[in-house]
């Protein structure tokens, strides 16, 4: 039976971040995913500056353009601009590139049909859907919003799912390419975005409650901005909370979307996935007597607190849309009231 120091389930930003650091430290790491890479991933591909900064390698080859200005719409009468550095990428290219960097650290990658079961007697024993058995000291669940690892170990957790829909449409002259538009009037309890990539516009809507978002809402948003209707719309849930129990137990750590580490205000989670993946690796490397989960809980606590503050800000902000106040002012009031 194949045996590893660490098995990581899911090779997105969280899984690759954890695997990279563990591989670089000389651990024997197996990274499992149910997809072959490059693979499609529903995402706007807005990569925050903090991700570019915190990655262990340059992702310049897969960044299409950098945008430093966002247009914010909080009511139908006016819009305002804020400065924020965001790089734009295709997630298909970005995730594939990160996986290639990770494999260079000696990490092994294996495509599997899925996880059938995980036992924790005398270490971790994973049985794949294909019937293969794999052993490790620790498993890190980085398998996204509908995480199988989370369901196996925390079956009682009922995450709060947000949802986002997105589509690619052709460029058009009336949409400025040097800014991203965030329109909070597009949908209740969420927003619509328009961002110009290298050879198309990505347009989408995010709603904090997965039950109240329909493809028709995105079509309506697309028509509002006179964009061409897309042949295809894709979407996915985002785990934004209710992960009541802790994201770790003896031998099992959860990172990224699997743990609900996403920003409830925006639905973005690449930063949180990267940071929590790196913390998971750090916890494994620093653990004494195999107690990596306790170290991980210490490391992720500030991240969890930041997410909790963002949740309160999101409650405050979305309850006041449409708003006559400016975005910065509104956010400032939210932060004052919630801190």
Ligand X SMILES: Cc1cc2nc3c(=O)[nH]c(=O)nc-3n(C[C@H](O)[C@H](O)[C@H](O)COP(=O)(O)OP(=O)(O)OC[C@H]3O[C@@H](n4cnc5c(N)ncnc54)[C@H](O)[C@@H]3O)c2cc1C
Residues that bind ligand X (CB under 6 A): 9-15, 32-35, 41-46, 112, 114-115, 142-144, 148, 164, 166, 204, 235-236, 238, 256-258, 262, 267-270, 273
Nearer to ligand X, 63 or 273 (CB): 273
Query: Smallest distance from the beta carbon of 289 to ligand X, in angstroms?
Result: 28
Can you tell me the distance from the alpha carbon of 62 to that of 299, in angstroms, rounded to the nearest whole number? 30
- Shortest spacing between CB 137 and ligand X, in angstroms: 19
**In this complex, which beta carbon is closest to ligand X, that of residue 306 or of residue 319?**
306
21-25 — which CB contacts under 8 Å span 24+ positions? 21/56, 21/277, 21/278, 21/281, 21/282, 21/285, 22/107, 22/281, 22/284, 22/285, 23/102, 23/105, 23/106, 23/107, 24/56, 24/105, 25/281, 25/285
Closer residue to ligand X in complex, CB, 51/78: 51
As measured in angstroms, the least distance from the Cβ of 16 to ligand X is: 8
**Rounded to the nearest whole angstrom, what is the least distance from the CB of residue 288 to ligand X in the complex?**
27
Which of 105, 202 has the CB closer to ligand X? 202
Largest CA distance in the chain: 65
Phi-psi region of 144 (alpha: psi -120 to 50; beta: other; left: phi over 0): left
118 beta partners: 126
Residue 217, number of CB atoms within 10 A of its CB: 18
Q: Are 182 and 72 in contact (CB under 8 A)?
A: yes
Compare residues 50 and 333 and give the one whose CB is closer to ligand X. 50
Look up residue 316 and give its two tokens: 């405050």
Q: How far is the CB of 48 from ligand X (least distance, A)?
A: 6
Closest CB to ligand X among 140 and 334?
Answer: 140
Q: How far apart are CA 38 and CA 20, in angstroms?
A: 18
Q: How many helices (H) and strands (E) does the chain have?
A: 8, 16
**Are residues 309 and 48 in contact, defined by beta-carbon separation less than 8 angstroms?**
no
Q: How far is the CB of 215 from ligand X (least distance, A)?
A: 12
Closest CB to ligand X among 247 and 256? Answer: 256
Give the nearest distance from C-beta 211 to ligand X in angstroms. 15
3-class SS string, 105-161: CCCEEEECCCEEEEECCCCEEEEECCCCEEEEEEEEECCCCCCHHHHHHCCCCCCCE
Q: C-beta of 85: minimal distance to ligand X in Å? A: 13
CB closer to ligand X out of 77 and 161: 161
């Amino acid at each position: 039976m194949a045996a590893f120091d660490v098995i990581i389930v899911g090779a997105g930003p969280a899984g690759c971040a954890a695997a990279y650091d563990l591989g670089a430290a000389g651990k024997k790491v197996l990274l499992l995913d149910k997809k072959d890479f490059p693979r499609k991933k529903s995402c706007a591909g807005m990569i925050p500056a903090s991700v570019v900064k915190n990655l262990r390698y340059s992702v310049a080859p897969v960044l299409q353009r950098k945008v430093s200005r966002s247009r914010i719409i909080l009511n139908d009468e006016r819009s305002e601009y804020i400065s924020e550095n965001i790089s734009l990428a295709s997630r298909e290219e970005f995730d594939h590139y990160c996986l290639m960097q990770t494999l260079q650290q000696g990490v092994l990658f294996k495509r599997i049909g899925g996880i059938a079961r995980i036992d924790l007697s005398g270490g971790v024993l994973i049985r794949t859907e294909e019937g293969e058995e794999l052993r490790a000291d620790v498993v890190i669940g980085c398998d996204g919003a509908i995480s199988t690892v989370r369901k196996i170990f925390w079956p009682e957790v009922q995450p709060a799912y947000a949802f986002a829909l997105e589509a690619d449409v052709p460029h058009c002259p009336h949409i400025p390419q040097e800014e991203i538009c965030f329109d909070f009037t597009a949908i209740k309890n969420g927003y619509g975005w328009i961002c110009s990539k290298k050879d198309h516009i990505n347009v989408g809507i995010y709603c904090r409650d997965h039950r109240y978002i329909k493809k028709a809402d995105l079509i309506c948003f697309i028509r509002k901005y006179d964009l061409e209707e897309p042949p295809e719309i894709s979407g996915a849930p985002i785990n934004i909370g209710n992960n009541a129990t802790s994201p770790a137990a003896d031998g099992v750590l959860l990172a990224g979307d699997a743990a609900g580490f996403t920003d409830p205000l925006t639905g973005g989670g690449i930063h949180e996935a990267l940071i929590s993946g790196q913390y998971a690796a750090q916890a494994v490397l620093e653990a004494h007597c195999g107690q990596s989960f306790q170290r991980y809980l210490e490391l992720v606590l500030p991240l969890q607190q930041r997410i909790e503050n963002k949740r309160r800000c999101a409650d405050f902000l979305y309850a006041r849309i449409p708003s006559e106040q400016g975005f910065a002012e509104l956010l400032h009031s939210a932060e004052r009231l919630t801190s």
